[in-house]
Structure 1
Amino acid sequence: MTILQVVDKDFSHIPVIDISPLVSKIGNSGSTAQDCYVVATQIEQACQDYGFFYIVGHGVDEQLQEQLEHLSQQFFAQDVETKLQIRMALGGRAWRGYFPVGNELTSGRPDFKEGIYFGAELEEEHLLVKAGLPMHGRNLFPSNIPQFRETVLEYIESMTKLGHTLMAGIALSLGLEESYFADRYTKDPLILFRIFNYPPNPSTSKTKSRWGVGEHTDYGVLTILKQDGVGGLQVKSKSGWIDAPPIPGSFVCNIGDMLDRMTQGLYRSTPHRVQNRSRSNRLSFPFFFDPNFNVEVKPIELNEIAVNDDKSDRWDKASVHEFRGTYGEYLLSKVSKVFPELDQTVLKPRFSR
């Protein structure tokens, strides 16, 4: 087994972890417990030091990824009027569809990006859809790009499988049974998938470049990011802001607020941001593997771990350790600030806690 982990004491390089033993074990293909222990130890170190790590050896089909990138380029190359045919306002309570540049907010400021929101594909007859649960339902797909729907749904399926594998590895890294998260939180996870396009840098000055997305943390337990070759992702490490450049064949993973809460601050949800400094469009594909919408998120009983409340240090001055309630409640409180206009017209009139 080849381990590609890099750990610098100055926290200037995000670790790269070969998870192939973990993939093989979960797939019953013969990896030893020792091999998986090595991977789990690397995940533990990365989550404590960075909250971020690259993964290779993940087994996600490269042709599928290339097809997804190619079709996404086709979609974003269209005029805005065409793209608005699947606008988010048409997605209803499922919270799906396209938004144009400047329509998504981070800390109240418009992001310099456009994108499409997707999730697990649920038919109208599904019990959760019939119950009107936000974030659940059918996706909106462009009708003029062949294979777009099939490719996105196949990618979501592959990444959901990978999410289960990584959560098993994270459980092992905490000294828990590998099924810990699946048994309590992610047997039926909330799946949220985005395709973002960051327009070319309009300025020749890096200091005047607009932020594609400002400083933030993710909400759930695990994000698995595919990025193209352009770059622009930055992570707030213990030594300051560092780049997370594209590495061929890899995904970038980071933990979210709910895993921070579960581990009582042992694993931190790390702030990150994006700035496209190139003269090209930048595509990114964040996949959010989150707790079930209706599950209450509670701290894990970990030996000799004191709550590490980072409220004063966080970008939003909020404490994930003070939160009480279901993941759905936490998520809705966050997304209502990302799309305030859509929140007022779609979620609030029909959803009461």
Structure 2
Amino acid sequence: MDTVPVIDVRALIDATSSLAARREVAARMGVACRHNGFFYVTGHGVDVGLQARLESLAREFFARSEAEKQSVRMALGGRAWRGFFPVGGELTSGRPDRKEGLYFGTELSPEDPRVLAGTPLHGPNLFPREPAGLGGAVLEYMEALTSLGHALMSGLALSLELEEDFFATRYMTDPTVLFRIFNYPPGPEVDGEGLPVWGVGEHTDYGVLTILKQDDAGGLQVKSRQDGQVRWMDAPPVEGTFVCNIGDMLDRMTRGVYRSTPHRVLNRAGRDRLSLPFFFDPDWKAQIHAIDSPALRDAGADDQAERWDRQSVHAFRGTYGDYLLGKVGKVFPDLRAEVL
């Protein structure tokens, strides 16, 4: 497991596939989750034309003036936590990242009960007027990846010797869907003090499953534990695939057997790097508990001492919304009062 495995998941997508075929895919996913929490997926069925259109529109947006981009700044999104942030506007472990981005989520009308109740991170998206079509492409893409997310979660359920609909019926009937488009500009690898300038610093994702489309610039690195040694390995672009990784809540549910693996980005391409992470996570109000399954007889390790924030995901008690709010306020401290 010194590289991130590539897994063909078409058996999970094809409704006519046999249970044996689906179990075979699930077993490969389970091995990846136990070792490094990362894997590529091919055979996912997401339209390549849609992907290319969204990438082109995203690049067009980030090429616009700062004033144009600021017309949909996150400060205008309020509790919905949507919109644009500039380079250095997002923090990881207290340090500014060298990236700019757009935040999106499930599109909700102002009349939606969750919006009327003031539920944080719920509401309408802030779509720029230009380039025309970006908003429509984002919504179409989120719909496609929501379907893929459910299919991949059915595979993860099988890998844990659970019913295929385990996550869909217990945790993700109304999943928390958050989507980001990040642009990592080029620049020096170290600052004036000789410290690395990360596109995004070491972190784990908060929820259950991340589905990432990355361009061909490279730069994604995954923390690997092999033979008692910790090292960083590259997860380079593989054409036609998405990179998937599991988050803190699946680590918590599996008692550390499936690992929420730290990762980071260092853009060495000498040009902009485009990254589109899609976060497919539990219902906002879902209580997160350890799963009872024969596949989890031997509990995994609590990696609290190894984590950069020294926090234990296994000590957490509460809803996914509680956990997420505790994290996002540290990412954008200037906007913290909007959602907390």
Fold match (TM-score > 0.5): yes
Which residue of 61, 66, 71 corresponds with 2:47? 61
Which residue of 58, 63, 81 corresponds with 1:72? 58
Which residue of 10, 15, 25 corresponds with 1:20? 10
Tell me if 1:47 matches 2:33: yes
Q: What secondary structure does 2:125 align onto? A: coil
1:201, 1:209 within 8 Å by CA — same for their partners in 2? no
Return the letter of the residue paired with 1:161: S
1:108-135 CA distances to partner (integer Å, 9 max, x unpaired)?
0000000000000001111111111001
Which deviates more, 303-312 or 30-39?
Answer: 303-312
Q: Which residue of 1 aligns with 2:271?
A: 280
Gaps of 5+ in 1: 1-10, 349-353
Which residue of 143, 146, 150 corresponds with 1:160? 146
Change (3 A) 1:173 1:210: same
Q: Which residue of 2 aligns with 1:221?
A: 208
Give, in angstroms, the shift of residue 203 of structure 1: 5.2
Q: Which residue of 1 aligns with 2:80?
A: 94
Q: What secondary structure does 1:312 align onto? A: coil
Q: Which residue of 2 aligns with 1:320?
A: 313
Change (3 A) 1:203 1:298: closer
**Aligned positions of 1:257-336 closer than 5 A:** 257-303=248-294, 304-306=297-299, 308-336=301-329
Return the letter of the residue paired with 1:337: K
Return the letter of the residue paired with 1:248: E
1:177-202 CA distances to partner (integer Å, 9 max, x unpaired)?
00000111111100000000000133
Q: Distance in 1 between matches of 2:64 and 2:171?
A: 39
Tell me if 1:237 matches 2:230: no
Q: What secondary structure does 2:233 align onto? A: strand
Q: What secondary structure does 1:253 align onto? A: strand
Q: Which residue of 1 aligns with 2:247?
A: 256
Give, in angstroms, the shift of residue 37 of structure 1: 1.1
1:231-267 CA distances to partner (integer Å, 9 max, x unpaired)?
1000001141000000000000000000000000010
Q: Distance in 2 between matches of 1:161 and 1:144?
A: 28
2:210, 2:244 within 8 Å by CA — same for their partners in 1? yes
2:162, 2:293 within 8 Å by CA — same for their partners in 1? no
Q: What secondary structure does 1:238 align onto? A: strand
Change (3 A) 1:307 1:45: closer
Which residue of 169, 185, 206 corresponds with 1:199? 185
TM-score w.r.t. structure 1 length?
0.92
Return the letter of the residue paired with 1:127: P
Q: Distance in 1 between matches of 2:84 and 2:31?
A: 37
1:297, 1:327 within 8 Å by CA — same for their partners in 2? yes
Return the letter of the residue paired with 2:218: G
Return the letter of the residue paired with 1:347: V
Return the letter of the residue paired with 1:227: Q
1:201, 1:278 within 8 Å by CA — same for their partners in 2? no
Give, in angstroms, the shift of residue 204 of structure 1: 9.3
Tell me if 1:339 matches 2:314: no
Q: Which residue of 2 aligns with 1:5?
A: none
Q: Distance in 2 between matches of 1:201 and 1:54?
A: 28
Give, in angstroms, the shift of residue 144 of structure 1: 2.1
Q: What secondary structure does 2:171 align onto? A: helix
**Number of residues paired by the alignment?**
332
Q: What secondary structure does 2:104 align onto? A: strand
Aligned-residue sequence identity (percent) comes to 59
Return the letter of the residue paired with 2:331: V
Give, in angstroms, the shift of residue 306 of structure 1: 2.5
Superposition CA RMSD, Å: 1.3
Give, in angstroms, the shift of residue 208 of structure 1: 6.2
Q: Which residue of 2 aligns with 1:109?
A: 95
TM-score w.r.t. structure 2 length?
0.95
